[in-house]
Amino acid sequence: MKITFLGTGDMFSVDQHHNSVLAEFGDTHLVIDFPESNAKALKQYGFPMTDIHNVFITHLHEDHINGVQMLGYYAQIVGDRKPRLFIHEELVDPLWSILSPGMRYTTDGERTMSDYYDVVPLPDGGTFELGGVTFETFRTKHVPGMVSNGLMAKSYFYYSADSRLDQKRVEEVAEDVQLIFHECHMHDLVIKSHTSLKDLEQLPAHVRAKTVLMHYHDEYANADKRAEFNQQHDLRMAGTLESFELDT
């Protein structure tokens, strides 16, 4: 399995793409979240947007979904099939409420979400299978009252999405995955909805050694700055368009 970061930036990033990854495995793939910046990143990576057939949405903050309208239109106008959209069942209607003002009315009449996407609603803890890989969803501790989910593919990776650190969960699954992709805001301050570097430094050394940081602010968009960090810590920072190869 090959994991490529289409973006590693937080909501306010202007120097790097917003956080999203492309997982390629077997003869298929999965994109986690679809910010608008994915269009440029995919072009830079050499992966046609018409070939995006599977997307998982973690939650409905704008920097994670502001490319979903574009992808839906692009697939319909330029592509030859509707992408599949894996999403928590409680987020389907709210997502369409966000998209509807721009997607409901067309020259061919009114449209619904199902005209653009094959929607796969998932319950709490729901799983789905692609290319022989089983993906497990789990609720994250992000913003109280907001439905947000992370994703795990056992023997491959754990993906925190936007969340506060769930240390118990991370330590429990560490032996089941090769890499842990965890958000880390990198600011020297408290952000109640996100994980800090100080939080992650509390993890055991063997867990930190397989933890890759993402969703950080633009100070670390500079490759030299990330390299300096990586030399000084056993945690690693991912860069935009950086890839990680995972054993099958």
Model confidence over 14-59: pLDDT tens digits? 999 999 999 999 999 999 999 999 999 999 999 999 999 999 999 9
20 vs 4, 111, 164, 214, CA distance in Å? 9, 27, 18, 9
Contact between 98 and 60 under an 8 Å Cβ cutoff? The reply is yes
pLDDT digits (tens, 9 = 90+) for 47-92: 999 999 999 999 999 999 999 999 999 999 999 999 999 999 999 9
The pLDDT value recorded for residue 221 is 96
Tell me the percentage of the chain whose pLDDT exceeds 90. 100
pLDDT exceeds cutoff 90 at 164: yes
Residue 132: band (very low, low, confident or very high) from pLDDT cuts 50, 70, 90: very high
Residue 248: band (very low, low, confident or very high) from pLDDT cuts 50, 70, 90: confident
Domains of the chain: 2-239 (3.60.15.10)
Number of residues that make up the chain: 248
Both structure tokens of 127: 């799983």
Rounded CA separation 130/165 (Å): 27
Could you count the other beta carbons within 10 Å of the beta carbon of residue 237? 21
- Among candidates 3, 34, 1, which has minimal Cα distance to 159? 3
Rounded CA separation 233/201 (Å): 9
